């Protein structure tokens, strides 16, 4: 194979995988690692949204996420989405337990941070500042990237009984 073809294929492979390798943001505080905080862009001028991330506890004791602040305006609440009788319901959560040596995942179609009263829409390419309040670790500031959902981050399809 000619050298230019090898270079071309190598470049194509690099571009194909560069968006998925090592692109996740990571925030560390004490024994906690907050992985890949992100939010999808708003639809039109809506001032609501959702934030998703994972929290890994590398310690020997559990911790709890007890609240979230939005320093730039708006309100953030922990929510859980679940199917009941073929209908998706959301319910507010007081705390999120992060087990010792374990992980808690906030993801589309499940647990998430619900955003309301935002000062403006969430725009693709921007960031949203959050302060996560943990029982033992204390406050942790993170930046959530505003980006479209990836295929593997789509909520599960809703099935209705006929």
Residue 43 forms part of a structural domain:
yes
The CATH number that applies at residue 55 is: 2.60.40.1890
Task: Report yes or no: 87 and 148 within 8 Å, Cβ to Cβ.
Answer: no
Residue 1 forms part of a structural domain:
no
Counting the structural domains of the chain, the total is 1
The predicted structure's pLDDT at residue 78? 97
Residue 140 forms part of a structural domain:
yes
Q: Is the pLDDT of residue 94 over 90?
A: yes
The predicted structure's pLDDT at residue 75? 98
Residue-range definition of the domain harbouring residue 119: 24-149
């Amino acid at each position: 194979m000619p050298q230019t073809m090898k270079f071309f294929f190598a470049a194509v492979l690099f571009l194909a995988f560069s968006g998925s390798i090592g692109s996740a943001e990571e925030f560390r505080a004490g024994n906690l690692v907050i992985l890949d905080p992100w939010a999808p862009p708003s639809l039109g001028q809506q001032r609501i949204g959702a934030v998703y991330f994972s929290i890994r506890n590398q310690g020997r004791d559990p911790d709890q996420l007890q609240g979230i602040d939005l320093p730039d305006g708006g309100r953030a609440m922990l929510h859980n989405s679940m199917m009941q009788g073929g209908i998706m319901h959301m319910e507010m959560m007081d705390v999120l337990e992060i087990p010792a040596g374990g992980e808690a995942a906030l993801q589309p179609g499940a647990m998430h941070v619900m955003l309301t009263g935002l000062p403006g829409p969430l725009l693709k390419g921007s960031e949203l500042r959050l302060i996560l309040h943990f029982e033992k670790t204390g406050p942790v500031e993170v930046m959530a990237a505003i980006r479209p959902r990836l295929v593997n981050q789509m909520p599960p399809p809703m099935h209705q009984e006929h």
